[in-house]
Amino acid sequence: MSGATPSRLVFSDVDETLIRAKSMFEFLDFYLAERHGPAGLERSAQVRAELLTQAAAGVPRADTNRTYYRIWAGAPVRHVALAGRRWFAAAVRDPRFFHADVLAALHAHRAAGAGLVLVSGAFAPIVDPIAEHVGAAHAECTRLVARNGRYTGEIIGEPVIGPAKGERVRALLRAYPAVSAANCYGYGDHLSDMPMLAEVGHPVIVGDDPGLRAGLPGAPVLAVA
């Protein structure tokens, strides 16, 4: 972020908080369909089924995220980035792509001088176009290892989910010592967002996750239909 120090930082999860979609699955559908047609969509459906089976069996989300990103091994970084922009350009034509009330809240924060920060387990080809669209100052997302212009399928550090979201919030707050955490906002829809929401003075729950409601009694709720 350049220029004046923001009045506050506003942190928002992406999937099922700012947008309605599960973006990692949606983008995989888009990318594989572009490259391989019906066979690509079939492969994407297989991946989705495998990951949902793992989740149902209790495999930690960090591990299922790593499994997802291994699918991208060998994919050209530049091609994936361009595909991400095409995916977003097509997806955003749907007026229901964004949760309208969350988007409106973020726009109001930004108009009041806040710096917006998207915090997501998705990777840059998905998150960067969304961040640009909403005017976010930072996109804290999962980054992948690349060699010779291609993804290796491995992650740099930890996936940005659960505790890693809290770590990203703390790091940015250290970078803006004049900004008080007590004055900052956070938006999330799932219990895995709790480490992020717990770092700010104004957590906002999006939807009806019982774990968040129990852990953040009294927090305002945007009950998105």
What are the DSSP E strand ranges found in the chain? 9-12, 115-123, 138-142, 144-147, 150-155, 185-188, 202-206, 221-222
Domain that holds residue 85: 9-222
Residue 183 has pLDDT above 70, yes or no: yes
Q: What is the pLDDT of residue 61?
A: 87
- The reply to whether 4 falls in a domain is no
Structure tokens at 4: 């004046």
- CA separation (Å) from 28 to 52, 65, 207? 15, 13, 25
- The reply to whether 47 falls in a domain is yes
Which residues have a Cβ under 8 Å from the Cβ of 200 and sit 6 or more positions away?
11, 169, 181, 182, 184, 185, 186
Q: What is the pLDDT of residue 49?
A: 95
Q: What is the pLDDT of residues 41-66, one digit of tens each?
A: 999 999 999 999 999 999 998 899 99
Q: What is the pLDDT of residues 120-143, one digit of tens each?
A: 999 999 999 999 999 999 999 999
User: Using CA of residue 95, residue 162, residue 27, residue 46, what is the dihedral sign?
Assistant: negative
- The reply to whether 1 falls in a domain is no
Picking from 152, 153, 149, 124, the residue whose alpha carbon sits closest to that of residue 138 is 124
Q: What is the pTM of this model?
A: 0.94
Residue 1 has pLDDT above 60, yes or no: no
Q: Tell me the percentage of the chain whose pLDDT exceeds 70.
A: 98
- The reply to whether 3 falls in a domain is no
As for how many domains the chain has, the answer is 1
Q: What is the pLDDT of residue 131?
A: 98
Picking from 127, 142, 119, 131, the residue whose alpha carbon sits closest to that of residue 203 is 119
pLDDT grade for 26, boundaries at 50, 70 and 90? very high
Domain of 168, CATH number, reads: 3.40.50.1000
